[in-house]
Amino acid sequence: MALTASRIASFGFQALSFPFKKTESPRPTKIKGVNMELSLTQPDDWHLHLRDGDLLEAVVQHSANQFGRAIVMPNLKPPVTTTAAAVSYRESILKALPTKSDFTPLMTLYLTDNTHPNEIKLARESGVVFAVKLYPAGATTNSQDGVSDLFGKCLPVLEEMIEQNMPLLVHGEVTNSEVDIFDREKVFIDTILRPLIQKLPHLKVVMEHITTEDAVRFVESCSEGSVAATVTPQHLILNRNALFQGGLQPHNYCLPVLKREIHRQAIVSAVTSGNKRFFLGTDSAPHERKRKETTCGCAGIYNSPVALSAYAKVFEEAGALEHLEAFTSFNGPDFYGLPRNTAKIKLIKKPWKVPEFYTLEDGGQLVPMFAGQTLDWFPSTLT
């Protein structure tokens, strides 16, 4: 990572143009003097929800403008359970991309009780499917078709995944209603994930969007290169107080839910230490405002427009900017056995205001993370 300083007389918002009818475009404040720049190898997003239909077309450019590749989640309606469906979904994503975009979607399959081992062979042979996602049934958005009995119904599939070197991506929460929602990640580790790793030690596993000190310690205890974790901006910056400050805050509601401050601090320490087991995964999950601000609001935080700014904030405050590039750009592809990107992206230490919302073509609205707030790191052009 190159860390330089340059004098910038003025700077316009050119790199990120949004496919919306009407937006409040973020513009960095003009400040005289020296502006710090970070030059990073182009990052990848190893956990992304792009949705489908009109919402896909609205949000994909926010990711494509900054990230080279993304692991795309399969929890659509209906879920992406076959290689054929993954190929079709990938074609939809490519069609929705801006002209001349080099963004590459890395597809995943949705694991069910009925997934056949042969589907894993087809997925590997396709060249476009890179992982299989485990959603415990009922754990999060569109997870009702997920796994009900991992050890009883999915072992042949998991064994084939080892043969095909296909990672298992885990939403690490139990869904038993008797388990407190703030304890579900720890209980999942103790009752499912740890026994799974003991039974199948050669299975590559990514524990997605970790939220607790327990998850940090578990991942650190596993062999490097076999178990890793993705980390979101929200779980690095927010604790569970953010759900209730000044009233109920639906746009800070996600699953796994935000946890205590002690857990946030543990995740920050792990991520900013330079440990190769942790890498960027935004879990950016767009829902229209009307589906968030309602009597039974959807879980998910839309953070793609601000993710790199948020990660830079965390590493800067920890005094660990020297480890930012590995977290955003190296650890993920290294774990997946993929080449690192060669393009560069700049982050400029220059304040910019996040839009209050983005207006969709049908008049709906998307509210991003940090809506209306000013962030210090501005994502600039790819080079």
Contact 103, 56 (CB under 8 A): no
**Residue linked to tokens 């077309």:** 57
Which is catalytic among the residues 62, 171, 287, 323?
171
Q: Confirm whether 186 is a catalytic residue.
A: no
Helices (H) then strands (E): counts for the chain: 14, 15
Q: For residue 47, indicate whether it is catalytic.
A: yes
Q: Is 171 a catalytic residue?
A: yes
Known catalytic residue at 251: no
Residues 6 or more apart in contact with residue 138 via CB below 8 angstroms: 144, 146, 175
Nearest 5 degrees, angle CA 232-CA 233-CA 239? 95
Which residue out of 62, 186, 204, 209 is catalytically annotated? 209
The H or E element containing residue 290 is helix 289-292
How far is residue 317's CA from residue 125's CA, in Å, rounded to a whole number?
A: 44
Q: Is 263 a catalytic residue?
A: no
Point out the catalytic residue in the list 44, 45, 49, 350: 49
Q: Which candidate in 62, 133, 235, 346 is catalytic?
A: 133
Contact 325, 312 (CB under 8 A): no
Q: Residue 5 belongs to what H/E stretch?
A: strand 2-7
Catalytic hit among 45, 145, 214, 283: 283
Catalytic residue from among 47, 62, 263, 313:
47
Q: Nearest CA to 38 among 346, 299, 307?
A: 346
Spatial distance between the Cα atoms of 67 and 83, rounded to a whole number of angstroms:
24
d(CA 314, CA 296): 31
Known catalytic residue at 153:
no
Residue 71 token pair: 């692991």
The one-character DSSP state at 329 is I
What residues act catalytically? 47, 49, 133, 171, 209, 283
